[in-house]
Chains A and B, each alone.
Chain A
């Protein structure tokens, strides 16, 4: 609230600076703006930028990092009363102190005796610190705004190149915006690497990458089942790979054939109907596919396999029949097939672009030799487009590996090392979701292992994308 109010005041101040700067420039020109180097508004904008921008940046930084500064100051001096608490409880103590000071709801921990006294002291201190940090930020911002305006306004004159200065500001803003994308990558890499590093301090990276047992629940009691705290991710990689493979078996032929038909055979009318419909399929949110997989495809497949099992029961393949009769809704096949449906438009539109990029002269040459359309496609177009199609498939694989909602809703949670598509498997993304939703203590290896999985996922998809982009780039050079 206070920040918004000060931003409002700052905006008014910048407006005043704008009017002053503009007025000053016009006055210097004696009312004939032609004599000025730049248009009068640029002088105003110059003054307003110096008056407003640095101070606004300061307020913004204060709003973002103020909380952290307050926390650090508050925790700088730790009362003796809490020394006996575990680090976790100490953190709760401080967050409670801050919550009470901010009149928010604290945790349900009850403080008594010396702790209560210490808490009350910290609450008072926290309120004081918050006030100090807030008001000093605002005071500093006001000072910066004033200095900015005072520095900028006197410079406004006939020969002053205001437009160039303002454009310098604009250039800076543009660069800052394009660096934002780089900062995002940096943020992803740093946060994943940092948290994974903490994870790998308690779990050996080799045991993580090559271990074959995954059960991240760490036992609270000695007699708990399936809670050994093993972090071998191979079953997850295998499950991810299995589902990806099924998905590609559906998506690759259907997507590729429809792309070929659309670009080589279909007339404009068919194209104008089918392409938007495929785009609809591409625009459906993945959670919808997940719902479809869990409540339609899953029960359907289960009923299908159970029926086959019943039909075969008692026959020579009774073992298989018994197995089929017990197939559950959650199986790799369901998640894989639905994911394949999701990827069809992706494969199709990428392949379509690539096939269309094959020069018409190649087709004409082939037709002139008497080849039929299918011969042209098989012998001329596909070989020419092959690198691009490979790249498209790699991108689809990368999508399949990183896809989360379908597998979360339809694949299952049991980490099994199996190649049976009727079995329930789990994937990297499912485990990340499971580990990070619900109650979490942030420093346990269980939670941190999600970041280890995330880092693996990021590296794999990044590698797939880079290879795909490389292939596409190389391929483009042949015709351009």
Chain B
């Protein structure tokens, strides 16, 4: 006997993601899911963003890692709410992990929640967390051909930060080709080229993010 089901494999996760999303809306918090490969500069971008926005916005951070709390330690110098999640082997964060982390955070005292996903260009793209903003980083060192190899994250993100622009010229990275490829895959995407190391381009990113927080938490 054949039984029709038509149930999505990610439905259970997406149900919790919708509940998280509703909570963020109610508390007027913009949650940003920040995805990238290991070493692309997620923690550096968060530090640089905190430096520039911490006086104007109340920012919280959820640090997702397979193991360790190295990244959370790096951010301890900032006076912010921070929760570390260890996925215990899982290659991505899921909506339920975020729900549990939120039990340890005061959303009434927050405007922007940055969720640093596990370093990985594939899996995090499949698991919605309830975020209002899907952001990703690609670093110059990884090469301009990555969008075609890891299409889902590039086609699903609303903003792409291209980090380590100070390394341009040291290899064969082609910025124009990268922009062209990504814009074909995802015509709506906003792209920022910057260097967390030198600070080049960071103000344009934080100005944009600040406006995004203000307009979505009104």
Do these two chains interact? no
Chain A residues packing against B (C-beta within 8 Å): none
Chain B residues packing against A (C-beta within 8 Å): none
